[in-house]
Structure 1
Amino acid sequence: MIEWMEDLYAMDLNTLSPYIRVAWDSTLYPPVHLAERVIFDYELLFIKEGECEVVVDGNLYRGIPGDLFLFKPNQPHSLRTMDDRPLRQPHLHFDLYYRDDSPEVPVSFKPYERLSEQEKRWLRPDDLRDFHPPLPSHIRLNKPEAIEKLMQDIIFEFDRKFPYYETTAKGLFIQLWVLLLREIHWQRNPHLLSNREQLDRVKSYLSHHLHRDATLDELAELANMSKYYLCRLFKKAYGVTPIQYHVSVRLEKAKEMIRFTDLSLTRIAEELGFQSIHAFSRAFRMREGVSPSAYRKLR
């Protein structure tokens, strides 16, 4: 079950198949000015040490230790060191989805007008274009240590090239990507972060009380907030209302009981607190597209 945020619905994370092109912990020694360029793929650049000025699509950002930059395909950007301190910048170049030509595509250092026709064909589509609001180019991380560790783990795999390192790096990248999306979501919704403990308490309560209906009044009391505010926050955090979530986890339990026990459907409905076998069947069909009896025949 997808439990995250409206932003994530713009991307099917189940199909994510990243191709990591470059994984490098590099240091630039001032003075350095990387002139405006576009890249064919995506890049995540973490500021480990030093400071810099970064221009993305004409917008100026100051990068300090703990900051992360996300550059997208064909997005003009440039970088300049700000003082005499070295700029240490672990960074990754990647495709979010593997393509037939992924292994052939290099890293670009040219502006768009200097690209050859072949190089223009290497420009990846922006797979993040449907995010609303768009993912930011500059992210001041609340927990930079977690992001940096995953980036360094990926870099380590590419440096050592142990057997299956590319597959290991893909798994690490997916963890990194989800962590980054969560970070951005919490930053955009600080009211969810400040109420996260209450939301987790309600969610845990519902997951452990599958034997009966739950009411908004009791959940609001548990969370110590109004039921209207609870519904709004819960749906913003998990994509469904508390009652919809409760029905969902009860039906997941019902599927398990139908498949792996010989209990009658009436008994299953009773144990999961549905008012009748008819109410249970109706809810099951709405969610699964088949009746409980038809689902049992599939096992």
Structure 2
Amino acid sequence: MASSPHFSIERIKRTEPFSMAFDHMHDAYEIYYLLSGERYYYIDNRLYALQAGDLIFIHKHGLHRTTNKGDASHERILINFDEAFITPSLDMQETWELLAQQHFLLRPGERERAAILSMLEALLGENDRNEPFRNIYRRSLLVQLLVYIRRLHNVRYVPIVPEGSEKQQRVYAIIEHIEAHFAEKLTLDQLSSAFFISSTYLCKIFRQTTGFTVVEYIRYVRIRQAQQYLKETRWPVTRIAEQAGFDSIAHFGRVFRQMTGRSPLQYRKQFLRENDADEAAT
């Protein structure tokens, strides 16, 4: 059987400093709305400075975390959901059209912020009540919110430039190199030589900017690519391990399980079950 549809929403106000120590990712989409205060938000190792009223949409499997900026006090609303939660209200084409956009940050105007907040408060209210047809109503409210966000994105979206000190720009370049060459043999010495910095300094600025060690990030990129191969091909696991840059099937299997909680074959089987269930529902 496919996994149960997932939906969660929470509103949290903090008055003490709070920073996530490490980036994380999950199998759900995320909507983050900052009600008050300021935050730094890392998305795939790009750093954005958020102000009250900003909204971020995070595609599933996107690396992200938030950290302090300015006054520690802030309040936010966070939604996590998967496709299975909204598909009963839509056909598959409509679902993918709503969710196709990769991560983006919106800075709505005053009128748009009021409309977004009204929808979020309706979702929070319905989530706190155990009324008949609760899931149907939450689903319809979420779809309304997603449509509104996509319309704003299509009509008024202006890319917000990530923060970029010289140190951060150097790390971004290293990340792009890793993303482009993940299937090749990558070592710390090779990277430090390619970017004309010492390995010690490279490790320091990479960890400060991303929350990852260099080795951890290389593994993340390779596992993310392996997940795509498992879903999109029928290649044997040995070939997937090789194409993703792992030098042994045992190492690949161990790292994959550590990062996903499943073996590569379990991951593929679950994806096929869920995909078959979605097709049967259309």
Q: Larger helix proportion, structure 1 or 2? A: 2
Q: TM-score, normalised by structure 1?
A: 0.44
Q: TM-score, normalised by structure 2?
A: 0.46
Larger radius of gyration: 1
